[in-house]
Chain A
Amino acid sequence: MKFIITILLIVAIFVFMPFNAFCIDEILIGISPEENIFKQFERHKYLADYLSKKLGIKVKLTILSKYGDIIDNFVARRMDGAFFEVFTSVLAMEKLGVEPIARYVNLDGSSTIKSYIFVRKDSGIRTAKDMKGKRIAFVDKATVTGYLFAITFLKDNGINEIERYFKEYYFTGSHDSAVYAVFDRRADIGTAKSKVYEKIIAKDPIIKDELRIISESREFPEITLCIRKDLPVEIKTKIKDLLLNIDKEPLGKEVISKMEIKGFVATGITDFKPFFDLANKAGIDIRTYRYR
């Protein structure tokens, strides 16, 4: 009898104890270098602390210095999820088997972003033709807003070989760096995410006065949290719930205020259709795309 009771007790412990007590005591989330990595870490640490508290699991952050690193490091560092930009979201879904769960809602209520191509007003550059022999600053090959849209724009204007067309092209690594590179005249043309561009010019009207947007893309989904499919369902569901309702409680409101966003909105694969349309137009096959 004693033996049976002991067995039943053991089974009960396995059935009724929180799943994470046995399997997961820590979740590692990657952050892409949308802006300066120090700024990014500052913004997201409040969210990590909040999720840790609510989940009862330690949520740790890791900064990825390059967009392209996300894919490689996701496996190497055994990440459980990451905040991906649209291009890396799709790459990650294809190569890493992650699923999108929620994306940012910006302070203006939008949950989409665009890509801008911009120049200094005094550069005299107005069209793709004027760009010949100039210097262009991209963000990263593994971004839509910081590369792919610009490449498509150039192709639409008959420019297929950027190595020959431009005097120089380089990758700044973050969107704000691309904006400052053009403002400082370290590049003649830049491409960056609309949200970062708008934030910079809102903060500094002189930058707004001196730069001009010469082309903008259609809308794409904002930064999306994608997590690995094989995370326990309870954890995935809880994370999703916490994010979608973060703006409904005081502590959550404080977190999103520090992150400079309005909240999160549910996201699925269908939200990435604009990306697939652009990739098709650019002749890109995600399975074989060289993002490094």
Chain B
Amino acid sequence: MAIKEKFKKITTKTKNSRIEYFLILCVVLSVFLFPAHGLTEEKTIGVIMTGDISYYRDMHASLLSKLNKEGYGNRVKIIMQKPFPEYISMRNAVRKLIAMNADIIVTYGTAATIAAIDEKPKIPIVYVSAYDPLISSLRAKNITGISTKSSVSSLLRYLKTVKSFSNLGVIYSTNEQDTIYQLNELRKFSGQYGFRIEEINLRSTYDLKGFSSSLLGVRPEAIFITSSSIANTVMPAITSFSRERKIPTASLLPDKINMPLIAMYATPESQGRMAAEKVMSLLDGALPENIKRDSAYEVELVFNMKEALSLGLSLPMELVTEATRLIQ
């Protein structure tokens, strides 16, 4: 009897163990055979550009290319917003992305970045091409990204070496904080270099429409174009004006079709690649505050020899040798 009971106990125990083993096996198999919910779920990346300009489009193309190359391309869905570079429009764009349940927000340019931060989303933000003196001062936990430190003084020096001037037209926008900062830098240098500034402020589509006629009222001897996206959209008018008056132009942003005489900027491709690294880290579960913020390091200095010819200017050889790229 005792033996029978003992036997019964043992077989029950064995039966229970088998059930336990079976359950453990099911769990293990489910982990390996059936994809865990979080790993391959498609993530939504919301993108905001400070203006639909080729510079940011190239940056974005580079970011996407890197994501695809590293195998993240089929794990993400992109929602693009290209609001007019105006604060309220950009904040609305951020709200839309939040409403669409974006998992990550990527902002191109300073104005879009500031608008995104001010909206205080809980969503991680990756900024690209945000102007460094401004972005370093912003305190936000859930952000990381790539900043640029465009050298206003360097570009000004090159412009001054090409042609001396006493009256500098500066195209900027009160909608874009980085351009205000750059204007203030130029105001500081105006005393040291001995020139006056004519401010040309582009705030709205109305200003854009009337841009060509507004230029008639100014008499600059050279034009400095800040990193304003709005200004970048009127490059054809600026080019036409400068050719008519034979005045040199310098810009902190490139333009593929209407490249100014001198341009100096951090390359969009390198910034896109660097930003992709940050996005990939976030997709892999890292927290934005733990992802190091970087500065764009690949700087392009372009001299447009074709434009120099049409302006009737000759570029000093000592400057040309400093260029990383010449347009001929």
Q: Which residues of A contact B (CB under 8 A)?
A: 36-39, 122, 135, 167-168, 176-177, 180, 183-186, 204-207, 210
Contact = CB atoms under 8 A, between A and B. Distances in A.
Contact of A206 (B189, B299, B322): B189
Contact of B297 (A36, A135, A177): A135
Interface in B135-169: 149, 151, 153-154, 156-157
B318 A38 contact: yes
B157 A204 contact: yes
A39 B321 CA distance: 11
B301 interface: yes
26 contacts: A38-B317, A39-B318, A122-B149, A135-B297, A168-B297, A177-B321, A177-B322, A180-B154, A180-B322, A183-B151, A183-B153, A183-B154, A184-B151, A184-B154, A184-B299, A185-B151, A185-B299, A186-B299, A186-B324, A205-B192, A206-B156, A206-B189, A206-B192, A206-B193, A207-B153, A207-B157
B302 interface: no
Interface string B170-199: 000000000000000000010011000000
B149 A185 contact: yes
Contacts of B151: 183-185
Contacts of A167: 297
Contacts of B156: 206
A290 to B, nearest CB: 26
Given A180-B154, A184-B301, A185-B299, 20 more contacts: A36-B317, A36-B318, A38-B317, A38-B321, A135-B297, A167-B297, A176-B318, A177-B321, A184-B151, A184-B264, A184-B322, A185-B151, A185-B154, A186-B324, A204-B157, A206-B192, A206-B193, A207-B153, A207-B157, A210-B153
Kindly name the residue among A37, A167, A185 whose own CB sees the greatest number of chain B CB atoms within 10 A.
A185
Nearest to B132: A122
A119 B314 CA distance: 31
Interface of B: 149, 151, 153-154, 156-157, 189, 192-193, 264, 297, 299, 301, 317-318, 321-322, 324
B193 to A, nearest CB: 7
Contacts of A122: 149
Nearest to A38: B317
Q: Is the interface of A mostly helix, strand, loop or mixed?
A: helix
B250 to A, nearest CB: 13
Contacts of B154: 180, 183-185
Interface centre among B157, B189, B321 (most CB of A within 10 A): B321
A183 B157 CA distance: 10
A185 B151 CA distance: 7
B89 to A, nearest CB: 31
B157 A206 contact: yes
Contacts of B189: 206
A37 B156 CA distance: 23
Contacts of A184: 151, 154, 264, 299, 301, 322
B231 to A, nearest CB: 21
Residue among B149, B154, B301 with the highest chain A CB neighbour number at 10 A: B154
Contacts of A37: 321
Nearest to A134: B297
Nearest to B322: A180
A132 to B, nearest CB: 13
Nearest to B188: A206
B132 to A, nearest CB: 9
B175 to A, nearest CB: 26
Contacts of A183: 151, 153-154, 157
A206 B153 contact: yes
From A39, A135, A186, residue with most partner B Cβ within 10 Å: A186
A187 to B, nearest CB: 9
A36 B301 contact: no
A237 B151 CA distance: 51
Closest 5 CB pairs of A and B: A184-B154, A36-B318, A38-B317, A186-B299, A206-B153
Contacts of B324: 186
A108 to B, nearest CB: 23
Nearest to B156: A206
A183 B156 CA distance: 12
Nearest to A206: B153
A36 B320 CA distance: 10
Contacts of A38: 317-318, 321
A177 B321 CA distance: 9
A38 B264 CA distance: 23
A176 B299 CA distance: 18
B187 to A, nearest CB: 13
A177 B317 CA distance: 13
Contact of A36 (B149, B299, B321): B321
A167 B149 CA distance: 18
A36 to B, nearest CB: 4
A186 B193 CA distance: 23
A211 to B, nearest CB: 11
